[in-house]
Amino acid sequence: MKLTEKQKNCPYCHEKGADHRIKMIEDDPDGQAGLVLRQDGWHLWTADPFTFEVLYPIGYCPMCGRPLNEEED
């Protein structure tokens, strides 16, 4: 599959090196969300005052739509 420029340059779903920090995509007082790459794949991380922290496995980047389970060139 060919990636679009937006997908290639997406700041959220490309993990360089071993720095597995959460890449914040939303940071509001009543809710935070971010993407994080863990050993078992990419996850959407969310936190809010009621549910605390939740991790969902994801197959596509919610920001650019790139499939996350394909190897990068």
- Contact residues: Zn ion, CB under 5 A: 10, 12-13, 61, 63-64, 66
Cβ proximity to Zn ion: between 33 and 64 the closer is 64
- To the nearest whole angstrom, how small is the minimum distance from the Cβ of residue 65 to Zn ion? 7
Q: How far is the CB of 64 from Zn ion (least distance, A)?
A: 3
**Distance from C-alpha of 44 to C-alpha of 49, rounded to nearest angstrom:** 17
Token pair 């922290």: residue: 53
Indicate the DSSP class of residue 48.
E
5/30 with CB nearer Zn ion: 5
Instruction: State which amino acid sits at residue 33.
Output: A
Residue with tokens 């509001």: 28
Which pair of tokens denotes residue 48?
């809010």
* Closest distance of CB 51 from Zn ion, Å: 24
